[in-house]
Amino acid sequence: MMKPETFRALLIDRQLGELPPDIAGLVDAYLEAMPAARAEADAVARTLHTTRETVRRFPDLAPVVEAEAETQVIPIFYWLARVAALVAVAALAGWLGYRVGRSDVAVNKPAVVTQVAEHRLDGLWTRYQVAYDARRGAFVVAQ
C-alpha cells in the first residue's frame, strides 16, 4: 500500500505529463491492481480538467509569473578598459617610486661618520670603534 500523499502527488504529476514513462507505467500498474486507487485517479483527473477549463475561461485566475530582473551585463570592452586603467596606474606608481628613489640617492651625500670615543688600549676588545651614522640614524661598528 502506498502513502496517500505520495500517491496523490504521482497522480497529479502523471496528469500534468511530468512523469517519466517508466514511472508512469508503474503508476498505471498500481491503478490496475488497486480498484480503490482508480477512483482516486479519476477524481484527480476531473479536478485538474476543471482547473484547466476555469483558467482558460478566466485568464485572470492564472498565476502571474513575474519576469526576473534582468542582470546587467557589462560588455568585455569595459572590463578590458578597467584592467588597462589599473595597469596604467600601477605602472605610473612604480615609475614615480623609482624616480623618487633615484633622486634620493643622488641628493643624499655620503654618510658622515662621527667618532664617539677613541680607545687607547690595544687589545682584542679595543680594535673596533663605534660611530654614529647620521644617514641611517643608528650606531655602526667600524674597524
Name the residue among 33, 40, 41, 45 with its Cα closest to residue 1: 33
Q: 17 CB contacts (<8 Å, ≥6 apart)? A: none
Report the alpha-carbon distance of residue 37 to residue 8 in Å, rounded.
Answer: 10
Residue with cell 640617492: 105
- Considering 42-56, 57-71, 92-106, 110-124, the range whose residues carry the highest mean pLDDT is 42-56
The pLDDT of residue 89 is above 90: yes
Query: 88 pLDDT band (50/70/90 cuts)?
Result: very high
Please report the pLDDT score of residue 100 as a whole number.
81
What would the pLDDT profile of 102-118 be if each residue is shown by its tens digit?
776 555 555 565 665 55
Over residues 4-19, the pLDDT tens digits come to 888 889 988 988 888 8
In the chain, the amino acid numbered 135 is: R
Residue 67 pLDDT greater than 70, yes or no = no
User: If you average pLDDT over residues 8-33, what whole number do you get?
Assistant: 89
Pairing assessment for the beta strands 138-142 and 113-115 based on DSSP bridges = unpaired
Block residue for cell numbers 687589545: 123
* Entry pTM: 0.42
Cell matching residue 40: 482516486
Q: What is the pLDDT of residue 86?
A: 95
Residue percentage of the chain with pLDDT more than 90:
15
Mean residue pLDDT of the chain comes to 80
Q: How far apart are CA 61 and CA 58, in angstroms?
A: 6
